[in-house]
Structure 1
C-alpha cells in the first residue's frame, strides 16, 4: 500500500503548525503594533487620560487659535505616568502635512515632561533647555544638568515599527508601548487632573519650539489637565511656563536659569491662559 500521500499530508500539517508557532513567537517579541480598539480599553493603563478623539479635538482647537511660529501643522502625543503612549494625533489633512520627524519628537517631549515632573513640581521641556547646555561664550559654566539629553534613549522599535499608514490614528503603532527619549526644548508639559494628581504628559512638535510650547499649553488647557501645583518659571499663574530671556526672563543676553532662547514670530508666554488651581 502506498502511504506517500498520507506522509505528505502529515508533513504539510506539521509545517503549518510550526509556522504558526514561529509567527506567534516572533509577534511576542515585537512591540504592540496598535489595534482598532479604543486606547482607553488597553488594560486600563490610559483610562484616566484623553482618548485619541479628545486629543485630536484639543489639538485642532489649539492649532487654530495659536498663530506664533510659522503656523505649521502639528503632532501631539500623550503618555501615562509610566511613559506608555496612550494617544498620537496630527492636525493636518494627512500624516504628510506635518514634519514626519516631529511625530517621534512629540513623543520624546511627552516622555521628558512626565519623566522629570513630580506630584509637587512640574518641569516643562522648555524649562530644561538652559540646564542641559554645555559651556559657551554666553554660558561659560555650562548647564547644571548637562548630559540629561543623552539619557533615557528612544526605543527605535517602538518609534519606527508598525504600519506607517496607521501613524497618527487611534491605532498608531506607538500606542500601548513605552517610547522613552529626552527632548529639551519647548512642547512637553506634565498633565495634572482636577485633584492635582500627576497622570502623565503631553508633547507637541511641528513648528518652532516656542510655538510647540504655546500649542501644547493650549491643548492641556482644553483637556482640563492643567492643575499645575508648582514650577520654576517664576510666574505663579503659569508655574511651568516657558521663560524667554528677552520677553519674560531676566534680559541678560544669556539663556541661563530656566530660560529658552526666543524663536521666530514668537509671542510673550505670559499671554497664555493661566493654569488652574485645585479647590479647597
Structure 2
C-alpha cells in the first residue's frame, strides 16, 4: 500500500473516531437514574390521562389534549416521559426542558413556573438571556432516549411547574403539545391532583406560581401573554 493511500485511510479512521467520541458516554457520573420518592413519578404521570380529558379542554386547541409529559428529579435527571394521543414529536424535548426549568428555578422559598419566566426573559428584562443557559442535550432528542440523564433545556413559556413534598422541591413536571397557556393549565392541574402542590409561595397575586396574564400588550413583571380567547382564567385553572 502506497503512502498516499495510507494517509487517506488514517484520515478516514480519525474522522470516525472523532465522530464516535463526540457522542460517547462521557457524562462523568451524569447517568444515575431517578432519585424521586418511590411511586411519586407514577402518581404524577397518572394524572395526565385525567386532565387531558377534562370537559374544558384546559382552554387548548385539541380536545382531548395531545400531550407529552416529563418528570425530572431534584438533580434534573429525567425520570419519565410519556405521551397521550398523536402529540407533536417536537414537544417531547420541550416537555423535558420545561420540567428541568421549573425544577431548576424553584426552591424552598419561592416557586416559579415556566409561565412566570416569560416577561423577565424578553429583551430588556432582568433575566434576558436565561434561555441560552443550560442548553438541551440534542443527543437525546429521539423518543425513548435520555432516561436517567440530565438533559437540561430552558423554556420560558407555560407548561412547567416544580413538584413539592413536605415544603421541599423534589423535581419538576413539564408538559407540551398544545398552546403554552393550555400546557400551563395541564401541568398545574396534574400537580394539584397528585398532591404535590404545597409550594412555599409564588409571584402570582394569590401567592402561587399560577400564570399571570398580561394586562397590556407587552407583558411585564412575571406576566405571560394570552394565547387564545379560550384560555382559562387563573381561577378556573385552580379548580379543575
Q: Under TM normalisation by the shorter chain, which class is it?
A: 0.7 to 0.9
Aligned equivalent of 1:271, options 226, 236, 240: 236
Larger Rg: 1
Q: Cα offset for 1:270?
A: 1.8
Aligned to 1:69: 60
8 Å contact from structure 1 (residues 49, 80) kept in 2: no
Q: Distance in 2 between matches of 1:84 and 1:43?
A: 7
Q: Distance in 2 between matches of 1:62 and 1:98?
A: 15
Residue 189 of structure 1 pairs with residue 161 of structure 2: yes
Residue 91 of structure 1 pairs with residue 84 of structure 2: yes
Residue 110 of structure 1 pairs with residue 99 of structure 2: yes
Q: What TM-score do you get using the length of structure 1 for normalisation? A: 0.70
Change (3 A) 1:49 1:31: farther
- SS across alignment from 2:98: helix
8 Å contact from structure 1 (residues 192, 199) kept in 2: yes
8 Å contact from structure 2 (residues 69, 82) kept in 1: yes
8 Å contact from structure 2 (residues 34, 79) kept in 1: no
Q: Distance in 1 between matches of 2:114 and 2:126?
A: 15
* 1:2-17 aligned within 5 A: none
- Let me know the Cα RMSD of the aligned residues: 2.3
Q: Cα offset for 1:158?
A: 2.6
Aligned to 2:135: 153
Q: Which runs of 5+ in 1 are unaligned?
A: 1-24, 33-41, 135-141, 161-166, 246-250, 275-280
Aligned to 1:255: 219
Give the aligned length: 211
Q: Which runs of 5+ in 2 are unaligned?
A: 1-19
Q: Cα offset for 1:69?
A: 1.6
Q: Cα offset for 1:31?
A: 8.1
Aligned to 2:210: 241
Q: Cα offset for 1:208?
A: 0.3
Q: Distance in 2 between matches of 1:55 and 1:120?
A: 22
